[in-house]
């Protein structure tokens, strides 16, 4: 094992795999071990769900370590303390038994679609109760993710499926390519089991207006009911400070007058993870 790989295992958490079980593979390569498959993650933890649409509920967070986007305000990928590690399925199972709910986040969770399906399948086989599964995504693979989950789990959960599986899309509009992807994704958005939480970044005010106008044109009032505005928080050294940027707050106030809902970050107010 290389020296830098050994150093990446030094985080003192009880639920991490022993150093000898780590794989000498680059990030993103999944390999089974003799004692069962492991998952490459930043962390697993139980906390209060801080964001729309399940804010305030107790949930298990499974955070994946790779993202295909780069956002200036990101408090995960830009945090130097976050290092990918290998976790056992049992670590996830123990946490979900306590919370009865699961949120996949990142990074970009859709890049780990096979892992998510595998984890959910194993929880179902082990009769672990799930109130809901929520996936946070930038939307770059929204249609594929929806089709995959439906293929594997819609028949099993039946009429409860669209209440159990929530795809939480957070469109990114900063670059020309991100904006183009977001505008195209509007057409595959399904308000029955998807929600939108969009960061109200004043630096892309014109793009925000274009995106919101198009979204409401396509999805109407049903779309508005699953649309939440997120304030742009001040980020310092990879960590969210909990302070809202004044121009973002001003922008949110403009849209609340048009009937849009605000999704505040409850976990920041409570000062929990």
pLDDT(79) > 80: no
220: left (phi over 0), alpha (psi -120 to 50) or beta: left
Mean of the pLDDT values across residues 208-218? 96
**How do beta strands 85-88 and 36-41 pair?**
antiparallel
| pTM attached to this predicted model | 0.82
Pairing of strands 132-137, 101-105: parallel
The SS3 assignment for 225 reads: helix
**pLDDT confidence of residue 264:** 72
Mean pLDDT (the chain) is 82
Q: What is the pLDDT of residue 245?
A: 85
Of the candidates 172, 169, 235, the one whose C-alpha atom is nearest the C-alpha of residue 197 is: 169
Task: Say if residue 268's pLDDT is above 70.
Answer: no
> Are residues 196 and 228 in contact, defined by beta-carbon separation less than 8 angstroms?
yes
- Distance (Å, whole) CA 82 – CA 65: 8
With the CA atoms of 141, 142, 143 and 147 taken in that order, what torsion angle do they form, in degrees rounded to the nearest 10?
A: 100
The winner for highest mean pLDDT among 50-54, 132-136, 199-203, 253-257 is 132-136
Interval 128-179: pLDDT, tens: 999 999 999 999 999 999 999 999 999 999 999 999 999 999 999 999 999 9
Specify the long-range contacts of residues 127-131, CB closer than 8 Å, at least 24 apart: 128/93, 128/96, 128/97, 129/100, 130/96, 130/100, 130/101, 130/102, 130/164, 131/57, 131/100, 131/101, 131/164
In sequence order, what are the residues at sequence separation of 6 or more whose Cβ sits closer than 8 angstroms to the Cβ of residue 252? Answer: 200, 229, 231, 262
Work out the pLDDT band at 36, boundaries 50, 70, 90.
Answer: low
- With cut-offs at 50, 70 and 90, classify the pLDDT of residue 232: confident
% the chain with pLDDT above 70: 79
Lowest-confidence pick of 5-14, 92-101, 118-127: 5-14
- In this structure, are residues 133 and 166 in contact, taking their beta carbons and an 8 Å threshold? yes
pLDDT for res 267 = 61
Q: What is the pLDDT of residues 57-74, one digit of tens each?
A: 999 999 999 999 988 777
Closest CA to 101 of 63, 72, 61, 141: 61
CA neighbor of 64 nearest in space, from 26, 101, 19, 116: 116
Look at residue 238 and tell me whether its pLDDT is greater than 50.
Answer: no
CB atoms within 10 A of CB 178: 21
Backbone φ and ψ of 84, nearest 5° = -65, 140
CA dihedral angle for residue 133, residue 50, residue 220, residue 166, rounded to 10 degrees: 0
């Amino acid at each position: 094992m290389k020296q830098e790989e050994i150093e990446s295992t030094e985080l003192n958490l009880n639920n991490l795999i022993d150093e000898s079980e780590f794989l000498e593979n680059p990030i993103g390569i999944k390999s089974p071990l003799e004692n069962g498959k492991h998952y490459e993650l930043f962390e697993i933890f139980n906390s209060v769900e801080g964001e729309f649409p399940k804010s305030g509920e107790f949930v298990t967070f499974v955070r994946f370590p790779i993202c295909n986007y780069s956002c200036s305000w990101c408090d995960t990928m830009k945090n130097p303390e976050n290092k990918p590690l290998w976790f056992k399925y049992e670590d996830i199972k123990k946490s979900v038994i306590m919370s009865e709910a699961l949120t996949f986040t990142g990074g970009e969770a859709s890049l780990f679609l096979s892992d998510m399906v595998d984890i959910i399948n194993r929880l179902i086989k082990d009769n672990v109760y799930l109130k809901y599964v929520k996936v946070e995504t930038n939307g770059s693979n929204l249609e594929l993710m929806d089709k995959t989950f439906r293929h594997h789990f819609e028949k099993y959960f039946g009429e409860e499926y669209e209440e159990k599986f929530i795809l939480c899309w957070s469109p990114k509009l900063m670059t020309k390519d991100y904006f183009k992807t977001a505008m195209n994704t509007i057409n595959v958005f399904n308000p029955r089991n998807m929600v939108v939480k969009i960061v109200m970044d004043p630096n892309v005010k014109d793009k925000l207006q274009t995106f919101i106008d198009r979204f409401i044109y396509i999805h109407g009032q049903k779309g508005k009911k699953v649309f939440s505005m997120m304030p742009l928080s001040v980020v310092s050294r990879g960590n969210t400070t909990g302070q809202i940027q004044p121009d973002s707050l001003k922008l949110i106030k403009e849209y609340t007058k048009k009937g849009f809902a605000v999704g505040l970050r409850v976990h920041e107010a409570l000062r929990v993870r």
